[in-house]
C-alpha cells in the first residue's frame, strides 16, 4: 500500500514537518513555521520543485497548519496538488508516561493520556497536543499517530527506573525515570545492528544522542535497560543549557539564599550546561572555535561535557557486561570529530580502541571510527527521527498494529 505521511514536531512557537512517500521513506518536502504567535513569523519549505519562504503573521498553530497546507500544495513549488494526497499524520510527542510502550493511533483516550502527562513535560506536551488538534483540521478523518520519546525506554527494569525516594511518590505521582530521545535511540540501534551484521534482538549497544539536548542509552538484546535522562530531560549528561546530574542539595542551599522555584527551574534548564560554564554559548561549534583560540572557560565547558559522557560509557559497559558498539549520533555526535576524540580517546583498557585518523577522515558521514581489532566498535550513525515516525505511522495505519 502506497501512502503519503506527514510528520510533525510541534513546539510552543514552532512547527517542523516532513512529508514522506511510504513505504520507501522517500522525502517529498520538509519545512518549518517559526515564531508562531509572535512578531516576525516566518515559514519555509524545500522540495524537489524548489524553496518557498513566507513572512507573514501566524497567530496560532491552526494558522501555521494553513500556511503549511499552502506551501505543500503550491502550484509551482509544492510537493502535492491537494491535501487529499496526504493519507496520515505522525506526531512526535515527548512524554507518554508509563502508559505507552509503542506508537499508537490517536483517539480521544490517547489525547487524554497525553494531556495527563502535561505536568511531567509542561514545555513539550501542551504544544504537541495543540499540533495534533491543528493537524486534525487538515483533512477530516485523516488518521493521526502519536510517537512517544519515552516509549523505547519502557523496557527499563524497576531497579533502573525507580529512584531511592519513598515508594509512595511513585505510586501517587509516577515519579520515576522515563528517558527521552527514544525514537532516535531506537532508530540508530537498528541501523547499528544492521551495520554490525547482528540481529537487533541480540545486539548490545551504548547509544549517545548528543546535541543541544543529550542522552545515552544502554541497550541489551535490543531492549533499553538504562538511560541517562530521568523524570524530565534535565537529568544525566551536561547539555547545551541544562546542567544534567547535580547534587540535589544544591537546590536547598540556593533556595535558602533567596532563589525561587521558578528561578531554579530557569537556571538549571536554560542557563546552565555548556552556556553556564563557558559564559559564551550553548553551541558546540562556537565553543570549539573559542577553545582553539585559547578561551579557558570554553575549553573547560567542553572538557566537562566530554568527561560526563565518558563516565556514563564506563557505567553502561558495566551494566551490559558485553557490548558490540558505542554509537554516536545527534548534531554533535555526527558532526564534531574534535568532541568525539575527546570523549573516546584512551578507553583501551575498557576494550574501546579509538582510531583518531579514521575519525578525522570520516567528516560528517556514517562510518566506523574504532580500530580494526577493537573489541567494542565505535560507530557514527546519523539519526532520522522523522523517518522513524513516518514508518511507525505507516505500519499502524496500514496494518492496524
In this predicted structure, what is the pLDDT of residue 12?
82
Q: For the segment 43-91, what is each residue's pLDDT rounded down to a tens digit?
A: 999 999 999 999 999 999 999 999 999 999 999 999 999 999 999 999 9
Query: For residue 276, which phi and psi values (nearest 5 degrees)?
Result: -65, -40
Report pTM. Answer: 0.94
Active-site option among 60, 98, 149, 392:
149
Average pLDDT over residues 315-338: 97
- Active-site annotation holds for 149: yes
Q: How far, CA to CA in Å, does 175 sit from each of 171, 182, 234, 237, 250? A: 8, 19, 14, 20, 20
Average pLDDT over residues 306-330: 98
Q: d(Cα 228, Cα 243) in Å, to the nearest integer?
A: 13
Which distant-in-sequence residues (6+ apart) come within 8 Å of 5 by Cβ? Answer: 19, 20, 22, 86, 87, 88, 89, 90, 390, 393, 394, 397
Tell whether the model's pLDDT for residue 312 goes beyond 90: yes
Tell whether the model's pLDDT for residue 318 goes beyond 80: yes
Tell whether the model's pLDDT for residue 209 goes beyond 90: yes
In this predicted structure, what is the pLDDT of residue 230?
97
Domains of the chain: 3-148 (3.30.420.40), 188-380 (3.30.420.40)
Contact 98, 152 (CB under 8 A): no
Taking the CA atoms of residue 85, residue 86, residue 88 and residue 94 in that order, the dihedral angle to the nearest 10 degrees is 170
Q: d(Cα 312, Cα 305) in Å, to the nearest integer?
A: 11
Q: For the segment 340-393, what is each residue's pLDDT rounded down to a tens digit?
A: 999 999 999 999 999 999 999 987 778 999 999 999 999 999 999 999 999 999
Higher pLDDT, 335 or 401: 335
Tell whether the model's pLDDT for residue 124 goes beyond 90: no
Q: How far, CA to CA in Å, does 37 sit from each of 14, 41, 67, 132, 335? A: 9, 8, 13, 17, 33
In the chain, % of residues over pLDDT 90: 95
Q: d(Cα 124, Cα 12) in Å, to the nearest integer?
A: 7
Tell whether the model's pLDDT for residue 24 goes beyond 90: yes
Average pLDDT over residues 239-260: 98
In this predicted structure, what is the pLDDT of residue 252?
98
Average pLDDT over residues 313-322: 98
Average pLDDT over residues 154-177: 97
In this predicted structure, what is the pLDDT of residue 78?
96
pLDDT band at 1 (very low <50, low <70, confident <90, very high): confident
In this predicted structure, what is the pLDDT of residue 365?
78
pLDDT band at 123 (very low <50, low <70, confident <90, very high): confident
Amino acid at each position: 500500500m502506497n501512502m503519503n505521511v506527514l510528520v510533525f514536531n510541534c513546539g510552543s512557537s514552532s512547527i517542523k514537518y516532513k512529508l514522506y512517500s511510504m513505504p520507501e521513506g522517500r522525502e517529498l518536502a520538509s519545512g518549518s513555521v517559526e515564531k508562531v504567535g509572535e512578531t516576525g513569523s516566518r515559514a519555509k519549505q524545500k522540495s524537489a520543485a524548489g524553496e518557498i519562504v513566507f513572512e507573514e503573521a501566524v497567530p496560532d498553530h491552526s494558522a501555521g497548519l494553513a500556511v503549511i497546507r499552502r506551501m505543500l500544495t503550491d502550484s509551482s513549488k509544492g510537493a502535492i496538488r491537494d491535501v487529499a494526497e496526504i493519507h496520515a499524520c505522525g506526531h512526535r510527542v515527548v512524554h507518554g508516561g508509563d502508559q505507552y510502550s509503542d506508537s499508537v493511533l490517536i483517539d480521544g483516550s490517547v489525547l487524554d493520556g497525553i494531556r495527563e502527562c502535561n505536568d511531567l513535560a509542561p514545555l513539550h506536551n501542551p504544544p504537541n497536543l495543540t499540533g495534533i488538534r491543528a493537524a486534525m483540521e487538515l483533512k477530516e478523518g485523516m488518521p493521526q499517530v502519536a510517537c512517544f520519546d519515552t516509549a523505547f525506554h519502557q523496557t527499563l527494569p524497576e531497579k533502573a527506573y525507580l529512584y531511592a525516594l519513598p515508594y509512595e511518590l511513585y505510586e501517587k505521582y509516577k515519579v520515576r525515570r522515563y528517558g527521552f530521545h527514544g525514537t532516535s535511540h531506537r532508530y540508530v540501534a537498528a541501523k547499528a545492528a544492521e551495520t554490525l551484521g547482528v540481529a537487533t534482538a541480540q545486539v548490545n549497544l551504548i547509544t549517545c544522542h548528543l546535541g543541544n539536548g543529550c542522552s545515552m542509552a544502554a541497550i541489551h538484546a535490543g531492549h533499553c535497560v538504562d538511560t541517562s535522562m530521568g523524570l524530565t530531560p534535565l537529568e544525566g549528561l551536561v547539555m547545551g543549557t541544562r546542567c544534567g546530574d547535580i547534587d540535589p542539595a544544591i537546590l536547598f542551599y540556593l533556595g535558602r539564599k533567596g532563589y525561587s522555584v521558578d528561578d531554579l527551574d530557569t537556571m538549571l534548564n536554560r542557563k546552565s550546561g555548556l552556556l553556564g560554564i563557558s559564559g559564551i554559548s550553548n553551541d558546540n561549534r562556537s565553543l570549539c572555535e573559542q577553545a582553539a583560540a585559547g578561551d579557558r572557560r570554553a575549553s573547560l565547558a567542553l572538557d566537562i561535557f566530554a568527561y560526563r559522557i565518558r563516565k556514563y560509557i564506563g557505567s553502561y559497559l558495566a551494566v551490559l557486561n558485553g557490548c558490540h558498539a558505542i554509537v554516536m549520533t545527534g548534531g554533535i555526535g555526527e558532526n564534531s570529530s574534535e568532541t568525539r576524540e575527546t570523549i573516546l580517546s584512551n578507553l583501551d583498557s575498557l576494550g574501546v580502541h579509538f582510531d583518531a585518523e579514521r575519525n578525522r577522515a570520516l567528516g560528517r558521514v556514517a562510518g566506523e571510527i574504532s580500530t580494526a581489532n577493537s573489541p567494542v566498535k565505535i560507530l557514527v550513525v546519523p539519526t532520522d527521527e522523522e523517518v522513524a515516525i513516518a514508518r511507525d505511522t505507516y505500519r499502524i495505519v496500514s496494518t492496524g498494529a
